[in-house]
Each structure stands twice: as structure tokens, then as C-alpha cells.
Amino acid sequence: MHSKLVDVYRGGKVESSHFGHIAVVSAEGNLLFSLGDPNRVTYARSSMKPLQTIPVVETGAADLYELSESDISLCCASHSGETQHTDRVLAILGRAGIEDTALHCGTHIPHAQDTYKKLIAAGKELTPLYNNCSGKHTGMLVTAKHMGETLEDYYLPSHPVQQRILKVISNVADYPIEKIEMGIDGCGVPVHALPLERLAYAFARMARPDSLGEERAKVVNRITTAMMKYPEMVGGTGRFCTDFMKASRGRLFGKAGAEAVYLIGDRETGIGIAIKIEDGNGRAAYPAALETLRQLGFIDEEQLNNLMHHYRPALKNARHEIVGELVPSFTLHKC
């Protein structure tokens, strides 16, 4: 039940295509547009991070440890491991009296190649600090510290930190806890699977959170405002989330997830968008996201032109010559 979303051209010929699913949902919970299967049960992966940040603010941990808007944005991040990110993680942990060795997100090569080259040149080893999820894990750690909970097992599904997050996701997505399917994410914490249209609805409610109650609405506005004001914390130099939110002029917030998931909230209309590329190849998610926004009229030609390297990314050979491009190839179906 998937639909073709993006074609990959080499020269003038379609070499391959990416298929997937799109759900566009209003803040009232109505499915407005779709492609493929809007009910596909999908692990949100890192797209869920803005919701996972809600307890950081809601418990009072953000205020106790003086998290700035940039800090809150970093808690929602899949960051590049640049100095601007790692220094901020260390500063937050330092204010909470937590060592960076408490991070249990594991290690991987940072997205920022300059960072990695400098580590190699200095003879230093990679640590969890450079993991793209270290901001999220820092938020979890400071919440546990504030609540008087154990730190060494904060990442386990049974820990109060993870149980709070589960309840938040159920509430914001308006989906029963017992139906949320659970797995383990790449960084070791629980990952949550819901129907794609419920993920879109969650971001619709974050875009227009009045229905969540006065206090939670304030928390959600604080988080989405932080993401849009400091998008460089959410991704990093040259990253789609960062470039996209910079171009959106305070209207749209978005978050990528591994295996080609992308979630967007539009503050102007209260609409949420959820996209899943069936083969998990992230290169197709960004053209699909921008084409969806273009068809909905949420992004203008000037903004699209500024994001052209994400909208129709070039296909390059080993000599860095442009030999093709990715091109969106779908029309949304009105429901």
C-alpha cells in the first residue's frame, strides 16, 4: 500500500525510486491528505525527541538547572557533534553535577567530519558525548537527578524517566499506551511505534497545543519555540532540520528520525505531517517533506529555492561531479 514519492535520476533516466507513506492531520485529529498507508505502524525514532523533551520542562528540571532555549533545543536534537553541541551538553551536565560518563547513548562517528578529524589528530577516543542523541540523554539524566531517581539505569523501559515519556506520547498522540509498540532505539532508550497518522496528530497538537491543557500547552510552546529559534542545536551546519527551520521563519518545526521518518508541525494552521520512506533511505525524506509543504502551500518559492539542495539533491560520482538528482514525484490525495 505504499506510493512512489521520489525518483532518482542518473542523467535523464530514472534509475530507481523511493516509495513511502504520508499523513497530513489537523489539530482536531482529521486526516486531510495522505499517500500510501496513513495507518502504517511506524517507529518514530528521533522524530519523537520533541515529545521526549516535554518531561524535562514539565518536571521543573529545565528551570532548576537553568536550561536556556538553546539547551532545550539541544534536548530535541540529533546533533552533528560540533563544539557548539558538545560544549553545551557538558555545561548542562555540569550544572546538574553529573559526569558525562553517565551518558549511556553509546558511541558513533559524529556527523561533523571536522570534529572527527580533530579527535583523530589529537589521539582522542570517541565518547558518548559525540553521539547525536547526547542532548536527549542529557535531558533524561537531569530529569532523573531532579526527581531523585537513579541515574545508572535511566535508559531502561521500566525507569520512571521512560515511563513519563510513554505517558506523554500516549496523551499527545491520543493513542492508548497498551497499543504503543516498543523497541530499543539506536542510542539504547525505548523507541515507540504508532500509526503514522497518530504521529502527524501529535505534531499537529504540538503546533496548536491548546487541547493539551494550559500547563502542558505552555511547555510545548516553550519547546517548539526553542527549536525554531535555535535550529542549529537540533541538527548542525548544513543539516536539513537546521536549514529547514531557519527558512520557515518561525512557522514550521520539524524533526528527522532514523530509517527515513520526518515529522512536521505548522503553527499557522495547526496541521501535522508525518512521512515514512518505506526502504528507510533518508535521502528521500527531505525532498518528500518539502514537496508536501509546497503542495500544501506552507512554503513559498523563495524558501524552496533556498532549500533546493535538500529539495532536489544532486547525485554525484566519486569525482564529485553532478550526474543526476532526486526529484519528488507524487501528488497528495485529499481525504
Q: What is the mean pLDDT of residues 261-276?
A: 98
Distances (CA, A) of 294 to 61, 289, 300: 38, 9, 7
Evaluate whether 29 touches 15 at the Cβ level (below 8 Å): no
pLDDT tens figures, 153-166: 999 999 999 999 99
Q: What is the mean pLDDT of residues 134-156?
A: 98
Break the chain into its structural domains and give their ranges: 3-334
Q: Kindly state the cell numbers that stand for 29.
A: 485529529
Position 131 scores a pLDDT of 97
Phi then psi for residue 190, to 5 deg, are: -60, 145
pLDDT tens figures, 90-120: 999 999 999 999 999 999 999 999 999 999 9
Q: What is the mean pLDDT of residues 267-274?
A: 98
Q: What is the mean pLDDT of residues 80-99?
A: 97
Residues near 294 by beta carbon (within 8 Å), at least 6 away in sequence: 304
Rounded distance between C-alpha atoms, residue 10 and residue 317, angstroms: 10
Please report, rounded to a whole number, the percentage of residues in the chain having pLDDT higher than 70: 100
Positive or negative: CA dihedral 150, 153, 154, 157: negative
Burial class (CB within 10 angstroms; exposed 0-12, middle 13-18, buried 19+) of 63: exposed
Helix axes of 134-146 and 83-96: crossing angle, nearest 10 degrees: 10
Q: What is the mean pLDDT of residues 160-178?
A: 98
Give the model's confidence band at 74: pLDDT under 50 very low, under 70 low, under 90 confident, else very high.
very high
What would the CATH number be for the domain defined by 3-334? 3.40.710
Position 1 scores a pLDDT of 83
The continuous run of DSSP H or E covering 16 comes out as strand 13-25
Please report, rounded to a whole number, the percentage of residues in the chain having pLDDT higher than 90: 98
Question: Average pLDDT over the chain, rounded to whole?
Answer: 97
Higher pLDDT, 1 or 25: 25
Q: What is the mean pLDDT of residues 211-216?
A: 96
Position 298 scores a pLDDT of 97
Position 225 scores a pLDDT of 98
Evaluate whether 199 touches 47 at the Cβ level (below 8 Å): yes
Position 310 scores a pLDDT of 98
Res. 83: pLDDT tops 90? yes
